[in-house]
Chain A
């Protein structure tokens, strides 16, 4: 397994943010981490990264990890080009002044090309559009050759086209054997690509293969609201259902899906 999370519990100031969360991902899996804002997605990712210490349970990772954070607030004037940010993913932790080398430059160019970012490689990071910045951040995360890639809401604030292109790019990355765990509050942009899904609600997690979870009865149970799963032109869409069909569900009883 590329990532195994076992009975994970995380508390902040006495409040249980994650409770008894468990799932496992195989190498090359493309997994969506879905949940409403505040459901604990970022906390789970930060605990997997080792930024947070769990109260109980454990995280086992195979190999190095790449990370794309939710926010990167860079001033437009910051003198850092897209290629500089990618290069920092290669050796940003090393001491000593780095002199330009042909090998380093080639590796950065290859990574920029692999995410279709060569066209804006010399632009300042602070001047990139949302979609361009996500590509560069993904290249930054992948340039060191991680086995696991974690992305925190990378599709937030992207238009439909940019979101679809980022998802297609991540699917390609997963196809190369990198396990991808991507958090999102809206699962629709991911439905055609993800093969596994971890759903977080009230600190509990349900996980399973996409076709097991993305069903009207399962999602309605998880969301505590009637959810319709619609098939249009061979594609699946998840939409909030009719308000009259609302049913109250207790999130505390979310169960793991086999």
Chain B
């Protein structure tokens, strides 16, 4: 399981988990779960186009994910209907499938991009993962307070001189980078699990924002390591374990919290 040829997989998966745990905390606090689902979808045709034109996959992913940010903002500003948004996302998936079909590597590539193929990570994937895996947490931690305050209330943030539109664009762009980083590991359909499962569980389990952020990263690391280990031991897909463990991680504290008696509220009525 820890053979030298698998070392790259462990390193890249760990970087993905740290970036996803950080980004996921803000996804949950800012109620941007839809963006966490949509941006990997938008990145998918970028990776497919890179395969078609013989370019590095990471470049296609980053460009397409950032294009997805522009698309999301356009959909939000125009208050487009849910149906229009859903159709657009499916159209992006369809575009990706066309690119992969034209590239002549359809079946394997579709599987890898939609569900991830962590054990196929090579030495050339480590450096881009390292750059993105460090840049995403660095940017999010430096903007920790404005991101949190604007998540609580855009009005309170504006009173403190925080430009909410700029903050939103910045956050979605960082989220796009995190999605581009995570997609080869977990696949477009499962990035969402890695981002929201550990972060949601952390937000239920602790009350302090700093503690929740740290716990989100720790749980994301634990999740991805378990998924890798179980995948190695069973030969089942790592994506399967990622999705199932993320769901369990989310459900367990929620059930525990629902089952325990409600805390008494001190102070005023």
- Asked whether, in the complex, the Cβ of B267 is within 8 Å of the Cβ of A132, the reply is yes
- Asked whether, in the complex, the Cβ of A96 is within 8 Å of the Cβ of B142, the reply is yes
- Asked whether, in the complex, the Cβ of A78 is within 8 Å of the Cβ of B29, the reply is yes
Which of B28, B31, B157 sits near A92, CB closer than 8 Å? B157
Shortest distance in angstroms between A50's beta carbon and chain B's nearest beta carbon? 8
Max chain A Cβ within 10 angstroms of own Cβ: one of B143, B156, B162, B212: B156
**A217 interfacial by beta-carbon distance below 8 Å:** no
Shortest distance in angstroms between A251's beta carbon and chain B's nearest beta carbon? 29
- Asked whether, in the complex, the Cβ of A92 is within 8 Å of the Cβ of B146, the reply is yes
With the chains together, A214 CA to B153 CA distance in Å? 35
- Asked whether, in the complex, the Cβ of B269 is within 8 Å of the Cβ of A162, the reply is yes
Instruction: Take A79-B209, A81-B208, A93-B145 as given contacts and tell me if A69 and B156 are in contact as well, using a CB distance cutoff of 8 Å.
Output: yes
B50-58, B188-196, B199-207, B235-243 - the one binding chain A: B199-207
> Which residues from B are CB-within-8-Å of A122?
207
- Asked whether, in the complex, the Cβ of A117 is within 8 Å of the Cβ of B207, the reply is no
**B87 interfacial by beta-carbon distance below 8 Å:** no
Which of B28, B156, B203 sits near A140, CB closer than 8 Å? B156
- Asked whether, in the complex, the Cβ of A93 is within 8 Å of the Cβ of B146, the reply is yes
Task: Considering the complex, give the chain A residue whose CB is closest to the CB of B154.
Answer: A69
Identify which of residues 151-198 in chain B touch chain A, using a CB-to-CB cut-off of 8 Å: 151-153, 155-162
- Asked whether, in the complex, the Cβ of B203 is within 8 Å of the Cβ of A88, the reply is no
- Which bucket holds chain B's interface residue count? 35 or more
Which of A69, A97, A159 sits near B142, CB closer than 8 Å? A97
With the chains together, A135 CA to B160 CA distance in Å? 19
Task: Considering the complex, give the chain A residue whose CB is closest to the CB of B211.
Answer: A79
**A256 interfacial by beta-carbon distance below 8 Å:** no
- Asked whether, in the complex, the Cβ of A72 is within 8 Å of the Cβ of B152, the reply is yes
- Which bucket holds chain A's interface residue count? 35 or more
- Asked whether, in the complex, the Cβ of A92 is within 8 Å of the Cβ of B268, the reply is no
A8-16, A19-27, A123-131, A193-201 - the one binding chain B: A123-131
Digitize A93-131: 1 where CB-to-B-CB distance is under 8 Å, 0 elsewhere: 111111000000000000000001101101111011101
Instruction: Take A77-B203, A78-B203, A79-B207 as given contacts and tell me if A93 and B269 are in contact as well, using a CB distance cutoff of 8 Å.
Output: no
With the chains together, A162 CA to B29 CA distance in Å? 29
Identify which of residues 239-269 in chain B touch chain A, using a CB-to-CB cut-off of 8 Å: 263, 265-269
- Asked whether, in the complex, the Cβ of A125 is within 8 Å of the Cβ of B269, the reply is no
**B230 interfacial by beta-carbon distance below 8 Å:** no
Instruction: Take A85-B152, A92-B148, A140-B156 as given contacts and tell me if A79 and B212 are in contact as well, using a CB distance cutoff of 8 Å.
Output: yes
- Asked whether, in the complex, the Cβ of A129 is within 8 Å of the Cβ of B207, the reply is no
- Asked whether, in the complex, the Cβ of B267 is within 8 Å of the Cβ of A49, the reply is no
- Asked whether, in the complex, the Cβ of B155 is within 8 Å of the Cβ of A93, the reply is no
Instruction: Take A93-B160, A97-B141 as given contacts and tell me if A119 and B155 are in contact as well, using a CB distance cutoff of 8 Å.
Output: no
- Asked whether, in the complex, the Cβ of A93 is within 8 Å of the Cβ of B149, the reply is yes
- Asked whether, in the complex, the Cβ of B153 is within 8 Å of the Cβ of A79, the reply is no
Shortest distance in angstroms between A75's beta carbon and chain B's nearest beta carbon? 7
Shortest distance in angstroms between A108's beta carbon and chain B's nearest beta carbon? 13
**A84 interfacial by beta-carbon distance below 8 Å:** yes
Instruction: Take A67-B159, A119-B267, A129-B268 as given contacts and tell me if A80 and B145 are in contact as well, using a CB distance cutoff of 8 Å.
Output: no
**B144 interfacial by beta-carbon distance below 8 Å:** yes
Max chain A Cβ within 10 angstroms of own Cβ: one of B29, B159, B208: B159
- Asked whether, in the complex, the Cβ of A127 is within 8 Å of the Cβ of B152, the reply is no
> Which residues from B are CB-within-8-Å of A56?
none
Task: Considering the complex, give the chain A residue whose CB is closest to the CB of B215.
Answer: A79
> Which residues from A are CB-within-8-Å of B206?
79
**A165 interfacial by beta-carbon distance below 8 Å:** yes
- Asked whether, in the complex, the Cβ of B149 is within 8 Å of the Cβ of A88, the reply is yes
> Which residues from B are CB-within-8-Å of A91?
145
Instruction: Take A80-B152, A88-B149 as given contacts and tell me if A66 and B211 are in contact as well, using a CB distance cutoff of 8 Å.
Output: no
Listed A/B pairs (13) with beta-carbon separation below 8 Å: A69-B153, A77-B203, A79-B29, A79-B211, A80-B152, A92-B146, A93-B157, A95-B146, A116-B267, A119-B267, A123-B207, A127-B263, A140-B156
Further 20 A-B residue pairs, CB within 8 A, beyond A92-B160, A95-B143: A49-B158, A67-B155, A77-B204, A79-B208, A88-B149, A92-B145, A92-B146, A92-B157, A93-B160, A93-B161, A97-B142, A119-B266, A119-B267, A120-B267, A123-B207, A125-B152, A128-B265, A131-B269, A132-B267, A140-B156
A residues adjacent to B (C-beta < 8 A): 49, 51, 65-67, 69, 72, 74-75, 77-81, 84-85, 88-89, 91-98, 116-117, 119-120, 122-125, 127-129, 131-132, 135, 140, 159, 161-162, 165
What are the 5 closest A-B residue pairs judged by CB atoms, nearest first?
Answer: A92-B149, A79-B212, A93-B160, A119-B267, A69-B155
